[in-house]
Structure 1
Amino acid sequence: MTASKVSLVPVFKLYGETTEWPTPDLIHCESIPERSQLHGWEIKPHRHADLLQLLYVQAGEAELEVEGHVRLVRSASLQVVPALCVHGFRFSRDVQGYVLSLARPLVEQLAAPLGQQCLQSPMCYEVGEQRRYLDALFESISQEYGRLEPARELMLQSLISVLLVAIARRQLARSEAQEPADGRGREHVQAFVHLLEVHFREHLPIEHYASRLGISAAHLNALCRRLAGQSALQLINQRLLLEAKRCLVYTTMTVSQVSDSLGFSEPGYFSRFFKRGSGLSPKAFRLHR
């Protein structure tokens, strides 16, 4: 990466840090104990505006809280935490593992061939028979990160690309195992998500999307619940909330302007919607991002 490109990268912060991003290569790798022991083995809920994190718990016990969902981990597991996700962790003192933090420009570059599907939402899975492979991969990334060898950036990006492919394959395998005979249903949900991406600012009713897909609103809701884990309305609200967070983080628009840009009838309604979805008012979210 050239010096001019590095200078355009926004400032990123890690948990508990007040200094700028510590390296110029948009990557940060450390062991879990390295940071968590400084904070009493607890990382309180927080978010990163422009940062993807991969938390790999190899041994010990961990309580992972991501977007309000708590998961107790007692076996080797990998947690994906996309940018803007509220997350907090509690670890046992014998915990072992790694935290890999990747800046958004690098993630977009490396994940482009994958369609970024594996990085769009939080995901946690027990690694099982992947354990030895991921152990070697994270150890290689950690060792390369700590050295100043020739072509270090190229080697790091290559190793991380391998890791992202492994995550994408695991997600695909899990999806296929959960939905072995529902190809048509997946097509409907994918088409709905595509329509939603185009029209979410219009606040269209579920019936409109269902009609466009040639199915009933009840059928669309059932498919969304079964295949996406959320109702159609929850997916709509989630997309609106994500766009609102992006506007508050990446632009200087006022709350009223964000409300207008997302099609809300008045700012008060938008603020209530945002607080219900995120736990914070738009102004408080912007201040604590």
Structure 2
Amino acid sequence: MGGWVVLSTVIPVFKLYGEGQDWATPDLLHCETIPKRSRVHHWEIQAHRHADLCQLLYLHKGVAQIEIEGQSFTLDKPALQVVPPLCVHGFRFSENVDGFVLTLAAPLVTQLHAQPGVSSDVLGSAATYPAGRDRAYLSRLFSTLQHEYQSEQPGRDLLMLSLVNVLGVWVRRQFIERHAAAQAPERGREYFSRFSALVERRYVQHRSIEQLAHEVGISVAHLNVICRELAGQSALQVVHQRLLLEAKRNLIYTNMTINQLAERLGFADPAYFSRFFRRLTGVSPKVFRQQDVSLRR
């Protein structure tokens, strides 16, 4: 597609790209297909910005090369691009492009931000949200919005506002999901750190995983997911490995009997401790100690 060409060192501020006049519609929004405006400009919209307009570009088909604040990237799958006010942006589209551009005037953006499901952080920064399984849903939503925009049916304004609110909720959900995904690894490490500290303090108490998960503040299922991701083991295996480590240390560095060691590690039955040790190591505690003595000779 080649590089971007800026025709002037001064970035223009338009109401809509290619139009010098004021907002050309009595509505607080403008909706059109991507081909309608880009075809006139040979499929390329040069870098520009809008002083008080937010745009939502939905790419349904084709390829779009997008420039946002000097950074370029390519979209070749259905996605929605948020372009906030004063954000320098430009587009270059393939000739088979299909999709929509929804432009929202500042009063409507403010009204959207006042809704419970849409806050200012959603439309206040540039972001790209893949359509994924919602491709058909978004296409119908934008198509209906454009149809109402072009019509003069009773209740037109109310329906358009409702559709814009639905779109705002969709964007908000994507924002929340992305934010949660970005925070998940950090939170997971924090939970694992809490769990590890609890295990270190209480492994001889043989607390249940349910009790430990409750103290960490998450479900058993969530705890197991985090342990497998960060330790490669289930939560129960983490506890068992800590018990096993302590058992090995004592077998090697102390003269405690097997019965004394079992009691020290919280096993009420020495036989159960021996079975536990054998299951994890393949040998009994007695044999393990003998093997270590043999190796040190």
* TM-score, normalization by structure 1: 0.58
Match of residue 203 from structure 2: none
* Counterpart Cα distance in 2 of 1:102 and 1:96: 20
Q: Which structure would you say has the larger Rg?
A: 2
Task: Measure how far apart 1:65 and its partner are.
Answer: 0.5
Match of 2:265 in 1: none
- Whether contact under 8 Å (1:62, 1:73) holds in the other structure is yes
What residue is the counterpart of 2:31 in the other structure?
29
Letter of the 1:169 partner, please give it: R
Q: 2 CA distance for matches of 1:116 and 1:105?
A: 13
- Is 2:117 the counterpart of 1:118? no
Shift of 1:183: 5.0
Q: Secondary structure of 2:51's match?
A: coil
- Closer, same or farther: CA 41–154 of 1 in aligned 2, 3 Å: same
Aligned-pair CA distance for 1:184: 11
Structure 2 counterpart of 1:70: 72
- Does structure 2 conserve the Cα–Cα contact (< 8 Å) formed by 1:64 and 1:87? yes
Residues 177-206 of structure 1: CA distance to partner in whole angstroms, max 9, x if unpaired? 122143599xxxxxxxxxxxxxxxxxxxxx
CA contact (8 A) 2:14 2:20 kept: no
Identity %: 49
* 8 Å CA contact 2:59, 2:79 repeated in 1: yes
Asked whether the equivalents of residues 60 and 92 of structure 1 are also in contact (C-alpha less than 8 Å), the reply is yes
Q: CA deviation at 1:19?
A: 2.2
Residues 25 and 134 from structure 1, CA distance in 2 versus in 1: closer, same or farther, beyond 3 angstroms? same
* Structure 2 counterpart of 1:156: 160
Match of 1:128 in 2: 132
Q: Kindly provide the CA deviation profile for residues 155-193 of structure 1, in whole angstroms up to 9, marking residues without a partner as x.
A: 1011000000000001111111122143599xxxxxxxx
Which residue does 2:44 correspond to in 1? 42
The separation in 2 between residues aligned to 1:104 and 1:61, in whole angstroms, is 29
Who is 2:104 aligned against? Answer: 102
Residues 121-159 of structure 1 deviation map (CA, whole Å, 9 limit, x = unaligned): 100121101111101110110110010111211110110
Return the alpha-carbon distance in structure 1 between the equivalents of residues 98 and 70 of structure 2.
24
Residue 89 of structure 1: aligned partner: 91
Count of residue correspondences: 176
Query: Cα 1:151–1:15, aligned 2, differ >3 Å: closer, same or farther?
Result: same
Taking the aligned partners of 1:67 and 1:184, their CA distance within structure 2 comes to 33
TM-score w.r.t. the length of structure 2 is 0.57
Given residue 173 of structure 2, which amino acid in structure 1 is its aligned partner? R
Match of 2:102, SS? strand
Unmatched tracts of structure 2, length 5 or more: 1-12, 190-297
Q: Which residue of 2 aligns with 1:282?
A: none
Counterparts of 1:115 and 1:57, CA distance in 2: 23
Equivalent position of 2:264 in the other structure: none
Structure 1: distance between partners of 2:43 and 2:14:
22
Extract structure 1 runs of 4+ deviating beyond 3 A: 181-185
Whole-angstrom distance in 1 between the partners of 2:53 and 2:31? 13
Structure 2 distance, partners of 1:178, 1:115, is 19
CA distance in 2, matches of 1:121, 1:19: 26
SS of the aligned residue for 1:75 comes to: coil
One-letter amino acid matched to 2:28: L
1:143 match: 147
Q: Offset at 1:69? A: 1.5
Q: What is the CA distance between 1:25 and its match in structure 2?
A: 1.3
Q: Which residue type is aligned with residue 65 of structure 1? A: E
Q: How far apart, CA to CA, are the structure 1 residues paired with 2:136 and 2:95?
A: 23
Distance 2:155 2:130 in 1: 33
Tell me, in whole angstroms, the C-alpha distance in 2 between the residues paired with 1:93 and 1:130: 24
Preserved CA contact (<8 Å) 2:100 2:142:
yes
Any residues of structure 2 matched to 1:200-219 within 5 Å, and which?
none
- For 2:156 and 2:187, the matched residues in 1 are separated by 43
For residue 145 of structure 1, give the secondary structure of its aligned residue in structure 2. helix
Query: In structure 2, how many angstroms separate the alpha carbons of the residues matched to 1:30 and 1:176?
Result: 33
Write the letter of the residue equivalent to 1:38: V
